[in-house]
Amino acid sequence: MHHASSNASLRWLALSPLLALPALLHAQTSAPALESDGGSLAPVVIIGSGSAEQRWRSSATADVVYGSELRDGQLQINLSESLGRVPGLVIRNRENYAQDLQVSIRGFGARSTFGIRGLRLFVDGIPASAPDGSGQAANFPLGSAERIEVVRGPFASLYGASSGGAILLYTEDGGQPGEWRTGLALGSNGLWRLSTQVKGQTGTPQAPGWSYTLDAGKFATDGARPQSEADRSTLNAKLSRPHEGGRTTLVFNRQIAFALDPQGLTQAQYDADAEQTAPQPVLFNTRKSVSQTQVGLAWEQALGGGHKLELMGYGGQRRVIQFQSIPPGAQAAPSSSGGVIDLDRDYGGFNARWRLQTDWQGGRLDVSAGLAGDRQSDLRRGYENFVGTTVGVLGALRRDETNRATTLDPYLRASWQKADWTLEGGLRRVNARYSSDDVFLSNGDQSGSTQFSGYLPVVGVRWQLTPQLQSYAAIGRGLETPTLNEAAYRPDGTAGFNTDLNASRSTSAEVGLRGRNAAGLWNATLFDIRTKDEIVSAGTSNGRATFTNGGTTRRQGLELSAEYGLGNVTLSSAYTYLRARYGSGTASIPAGNRLPGLPEQQLFAQVGWAPGFAADIGGQFALEARHSSKVFANDANTAQAAAYTLLGLSARFEQTAGAWTWRQFVRIDNLMDRKYVGSVIVNDGNSRFFEPGLGRAVSVGVELSRRF
């Protein structure tokens, strides 16, 4: 165990660049040229491109992590590797590939026990979140990412319901010259990743043809604990072609994954041996298999006079089979849905937008109006996970129903920018409808329907105080719908859709300062979020997780971040303070309790040093620190995971010879081999809340690339 004094020293050491930054940033940075959107339709225009100048001129709070930061010296398997530098974002690898990452933004999404909910995910403008707000980041193609934008605060609500924040990945565009890359990475616990990317463009520079990007990869791991083996194969492709006044883009994604599920540990099990797995997952051979295929088409066309029409459509299929560890005795009740989930999903949607960009009244006006629609149809079956005395096998049918969720949202957004100030705002009308048709009636008719609606207005302003300093503020409303899974069952055990479960509604406000100069930039944001009808757990009955509304909550916080360079040394810091409390509470949640799954303080700090090598040799050494304060694991605040501080060390090198480039990296995570809880399973019905983090882990990688 480490001492509180050393924790405090590390926090102050990592925070010191932030405290000293305003004095260091005193020279104006020249404005870079705006970057292209790459032919991908952004779901709502928040930044418009990944350029620093667009972010500087916006009143929205958004951070951009570029492809080089996602790949250089990284395993390129999980978003959690590189997004720790984003303040306000909690993103943790559960070390359980059957349940995806644990992700929350300013407290939204923290209640999710599997997958991602309460946030919106997009890849090249195509939702990686379903209309009911559930999503997964496993199909994010990190190997070919050009950038990831993380949108926080009131403007995130313009992405629709369940948009407490948004994470948007845009893949690289092919060009001339083309590039081919192949990389291999190896890590502890039998982990390996092999991937290849090819990008280029047909035709000539004077008459370009199709731009293409292809990304194929596979990874596998034996896992850090028994019953945690996993593998995943992905294929991502993008084709785009300019035409007079516009562009057409076609994207394709395919993912096949299999993972054993080690589940969590009780406090006693974690204290005794953090590397063990509870007996139940092994006995039932808990596991999950996923296959998903989707395609998308984006088309944009200039109409003259600054007008533009942008259209996007997509469709896909997702198949999930998951074996759980529910005991046979718990499935004896007539209302049980069994211990095996069999999900077959068809989904699709569109986004149609008109946009006007023109000079007006001495400023730059950008107005857009559109209509976005999404639909999912889930054929959901449940089976017993036993036959006779044999468990962990497919048994009798216990559930057979079709669940549907549809959204149809009109929206409007406008921005007026001048050199020293920006006024912008938007409005989205959320219309979400859920329905369930049950054909297996012996365990109660779960048929029913419900709907959620509301207006989501947001307004923001930016005021440039000096060429190096500006202030900004925004306020808006949000709405989070329950997922289909959360609305499936009533807490009282009676049959039917849980039509008593309301969407939670929030009012979010923020105010902040930004500064920049030739050395770097810094950002400081204060926010306040007040929510009513917070969606909370109502307990588990016969294997069925149920949910209810838990009164009011309030989230207040501070986000600080800074990045700057001093010669061949680079410094990056991100600090988040989040006070998240239940307000009115319920019979089972006392007022004043902390929201589970959320650290009150989180800190990231990195120091990089690039020594002077020969002209054709590059490299960098980096020391990284990550701190998280304690986290409660349940609404009652009776279980908690202790605070921890982790150190990491990495080195990467690059050699160039003509058209060829050879890269290598080595990194050590959890350098001091600390024992810690990496993530918690919020409100787990068996009190197996704790998912251990990795001990000291070593990884190495090589990559060969060639321009052509």
- What is the per-residue DSSP string for 98-141? TS--EEEETTBTTT-SSSEESSEEEETTEESB-TTSEE--TT--
Cα distance between residue 366 and residue 356, in whole Å: 6
Lowest mean pLDDT among 291-295, 425-429, 554-558, 583-587: 583-587
Average pLDDT over residues 615-621: 88
The pLDDT score that the predictor gives to residue 495 is 77
Lowest mean pLDDT among 295-304, 454-463, 542-551: 542-551
Q: Residue 134 forms beta bridges with which residues?
A: 117
Q: Comparing C-alpha atoms, which of 413, 447, 455, 412 is closest to residue 431?
A: 455
The pLDDT score that the predictor gives to residue 173 is 94
Q: Using an 8 Å Cβ cutoff, are 57 and 462 in contact? A: yes
Q: Which residue has the higher pLDDT, 551 or 530?
A: 530
Reported as a single tens digit per residue, the pLDDT across 327-381 is: 999 998 888 899 999 999 999 999 999 999 999 999 999 999 999 999 999 999 9
The pLDDT score that the predictor gives to residue 446 is 85
Average pLDDT over residues 604-624: 91
* pLDDT(27) > 60: no
Q: Comparing C-alpha atoms, which of 580, 582, 573, 464 is closest to residue 523?
A: 573
The pLDDT score that the predictor gives to residue 18 is 39
Cα distance between residue 322 and residue 381, in whole Å: 11
Average pLDDT over residues 426-438: 96
Q: What are phi and psi of 197, to 5 degrees?
A: -130, 140
Beta strands at 390-391 and 386-387: parallel, antiparallel or unpaired = antiparallel
The pLDDT score that the predictor gives to residue 26 is 35
Q: Using an 8 Å Cβ cutoff, are 219 and 257 in contact? A: no
The pLDDT score that the predictor gives to residue 262 is 97
Q: Which residue has the higher pLDDT, 199 or 22?
A: 199
The domain ranges of the chain are 4-707
Cα distance between residue 338 and residue 440, in whole Å: 12
Taking all residues of the chain, what is their mean pLDDT, rounded to a whole number?
A: 91
> What is the percent of the chain with per-residue pLDDT over 70, rounded to a whole number?
93
The pLDDT score that the predictor gives to residue 3 is 41
* pLDDT(247) > 90: yes
* pLDDT(220) > 50: yes
The pLDDT score that the predictor gives to residue 53 is 78
Q: Which residue has the higher pLDDT, 670 or 586?
A: 670
The pLDDT score that the predictor gives to residue 512 is 97
Lowest mean pLDDT among 54-58, 166-170, 377-381, 616-620: 54-58
Between the two ends of the chain, the Cα-to-Cα distance in Å is 53
Q: Comparing C-alpha atoms, which of 677, 621, 630 is closest to residue 648?
A: 621
Q: Using an 8 Å Cβ cutoff, are 288 and 261 in contact? A: yes
The pLDDT score that the predictor gives to residue 40 is 61
Q: Which residue has the higher pLDDT, 585 or 212?
A: 212
Which tokens go with 577?
A: 């303070």
The pLDDT score that the predictor gives to residue 50 is 61
> What is the percent of the chain with per-residue pLDDT over 90, rounded to a whole number?
81
pLDDT confidence of 16, banded at 50, 70, 90?
very low
The pLDDT score that the predictor gives to residue 538 is 87
Which tokens go with 99?
A: 């349940």
Lowest mean pLDDT among 45-54, 209-218, 391-400, 683-692: 45-54
* pLDDT(28) > 70: no
CATH class of 4-707: mainly beta
The pLDDT score that the predictor gives to residue 541 is 66
* pLDDT(303) > 90: yes
Cα distance between residue 310 and residue 44, in whole Å: 11
Residue where the block lists tokens 């960098």: 620
Q: Comparing C-alpha atoms, which of 259, 267, 435, 246 is closest to residue 355?
A: 246
Q: Comparing C-alpha atoms, which of 316, 315, 196, 323 is closest to residue 258?
A: 323
Q: Residue 117 forms beta bridges with which residues?
A: 134
**Kindly report the CA angle at 285 between 279 and 286, in degrees rounded to 5?**
95
* pLDDT(48) > 70: no
pLDDT confidence of 235, banded at 50, 70, 90?
very high
pLDDT confidence of 22, banded at 50, 70, 90?
very low
The pLDDT score that the predictor gives to residue 542 is 62
Answer left, alpha or beta for residue 466, where phi above 0 means left and psi between -120 and 50 means alpha: beta
Reported as a single tens digit per residue, the pLDDT across 104-144 is: 999 999 999 888 999 999 999 999 999 999 999 998 999 99
Residue where the block lists tokens 């939204």: 108
Average pLDDT over residues 551-556: 95
The pLDDT score that the predictor gives to residue 443 is 78
pLDDT confidence of 12, banded at 50, 70, 90?
very low
* pLDDT(153) > 80: yes
pLDDT confidence of 496, banded at 50, 70, 90?
confident
Cα distance between residue 691 and residue 679, in whole Å: 5
Cα distance between residue 105 and residue 103, in whole Å: 7
* pLDDT(36) > 70: no
The pLDDT score that the predictor gives to residue 491 is 85
> Exposure string (b/e) for 321-333, b if CB count within 10 Å is 16 or more?
bbbbbbebeebee
Q: Using an 8 Å Cβ cutoff, are 598 and 578 in contact? A: yes
Cα distance between residue 149 and residue 317, in whole Å: 26
